[in-house]
A and B are shown apart, each in its own frame.
Chain A
Amino acid sequence: MHPIIRSSTLALVSVMTMACEAESGTLEATAYGESFIEDGIPATAFADGWSVAFDRFTVDVSEVVVGSTLVVTAASVDVAIATGGLGQELGEVEVPEGRHAQASFTLQRIDIVGTASRGDEQRSFQWLLEEPTHYHGCESSTEVRPGGVGRFQVTVHADHLFYDSVAAESPMMRFQHFADADANGDTILEQGELAATGLGALDAGSEGHVHDLWGWLLALARTLGHVDGEGHCHVDA
Chain B
Amino acid sequence: MRAVCRTSLLGAVASAGCAQPTEVPRVAIDLVVDSSGLLPVTNDLGYLVEVAEAELVVVDFEFARAGEMHTRALWPALWDAIIPAAYAHPGHSQEGDVTGELLGQFHLQWRPGQVQRLAPATLLVGDYASANFTFGFSGPEDSVTAGREGTTGMVRGIATRGGRSIVFEAVMTAPPDRLLVGIPFEVSVTLEVPSELAFRLVTEDPLEGDTLFDGIDFGALDVDGDGVLTLVPEASEPAVVEAAYALRRTLMTHDHYEILGTSDF
Contacts and interface: CB of A to CB of B under 8 A. Distances in A.
Interface of A: 133, 135, 160, 163, 165-171, 198-201, 203-211, 215, 218-220, 222-226, 232-237
B252 interface: yes
A134 to B, nearest CB: 10
B182 interface: yes
B88 A232 contact: yes
B253 A235 contact: no
Contacts, number: 122
Given A199-B245, A200-B245, A207-B253, A237 B90 contact: no
Contacts of B10: none
A205 B89 CA distance: 12
B181 A206 contact: yes
Contact of B246 (A198, A205, A222, A223): A198
A201 B178 CA distance: 13
A183 to B, nearest CB: 12
A234 B93 CA distance: 10
26 contacts: A165-B90, A165-B91, A168-B177, A171-B90, A198-B242, A199-B245, A200-B242, A201-B233, A205-B83, A205-B90, A205-B93, A206-B179, A206-B181, A207-B68, A207-B253, A208-B252, A209-B82, A209-B253, A218-B82, A219-B82, A220-B90, A222-B82, A224-B88, A233-B87, A236-B85, A237-B84
A237 B81 CA distance: 5
Contact of A168 (B85, B178, B242): B178
Contact of A206 (B89, B177, B245, B254): B254
A206 B92 contact: no
Nearest to A157: B89
B241 interface: yes
A135 B88 contact: yes
Interface residues on B, range: 35 or more
Nearest to A135: B88
B178 A167 contact: yes
Interface of B: 68, 75, 78, 80-93, 175, 177-182, 215, 233, 241-242, 245-246, 249-250, 252-255
Contacts of A199: 245-246, 249
| Residue in A133, A218, A236 with the greatest tally of chain B CB atoms within 10 Å | A236
A166 B252 CA distance: 12
Given A171-B90, A226-B88, A201 B82 contact: no
B91 A169 contact: yes
Nearest to A203: B175
Given A219-B83, A223-B88, A232-B88, A204 B182 contact: no
A76 B16 CA distance: 49
Given A135-B88, A234-B87, A200 B241 contact: yes
Contact of B182 (A207, A210, A220): A207
6 A-B pairs closest in CB distance: A237-B81, A208-B253, A237-B78, A169-B91, A219-B82, A235-B88
A215 B249 CA distance: 14
Given A167-B178, A204-B249, A236 B255 contact: no
B31 to A, nearest CB: 19
A233 B90 CA distance: 12
Contacts of A169: 90-91, 177
Contact of A223 (B81, B89, B250): B89
Given A165-B175, A222-B88, A236-B78, A205 B241 contact: no
